[in-house]
């Protein structure tokens, strides 16, 4: 389940997210919302805050706007981590695209790549 930066429910994935999904407060993306951040590792309670290194960036388009996701982890990414992140966001893109069309938001939606940065 993904919430807006105001805390309202924005999106419920048909595939449960295996990640802690949050944002980087004070850092806005191209869509005007805080930049999305995914924390790999054990489940954390809602509202958890922690500084964790960015290990990769999922390049995603959302209704024609860049909507990158920072992939954060306390340890370097494994091959399995990269596979899981890629698989999840390859499913996320088309389902979010359908939701965008239903909401009247045109434009391409989907994952365009994974860039490992650390």
CA distance 72 to 81: 11
Domain range for 77 is: 2-116
Nearest CA to 11 among 89, 117, 107, 82? 89
Q: In the prediction, which pLDDT does 49 show?
A: 93
Can you give the CATH number for the domain in which 11 is found? 3.90.80.10
The token pair at 36 is 């999305």
Least confident of 6-10, 22-26, 61-65, 101-105: 6-10
CA distance 116 to 118: 6
pLDDT category at 14 given cuts 50, 70, 90 is: low
pTM: 0.86
The count of domains in the chain is 1
Bridge partner list, 65: 62
Cβ(48)–Cβ(62) under 8 Å? no
């Amino acid at each position: 389940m993904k919430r807006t930066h105001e805390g309202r429910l924005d999106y419920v994935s048909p595939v449960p997210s295996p990640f802690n999904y949050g944002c980087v407060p004070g850092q806005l993306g191209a869509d005007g919302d805080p930049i999305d951040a995914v924390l790999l590792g054990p489940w954390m309670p809602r509202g958890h805050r922690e500084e964790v290194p960015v290990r990769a960036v999922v390049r995603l388009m959302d209704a024609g706007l860049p909507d990158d996701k920072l992939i954060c982890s306390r340890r370097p990414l494994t091959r399995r981590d990269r596979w899981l992140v890629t698989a999840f966001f390859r499913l996320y893109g088309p389902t979010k695209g359908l939701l965008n069309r239903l909401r009247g938001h045109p434009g391409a939606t989907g994952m365009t790549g994974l860039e490992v940065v650390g």
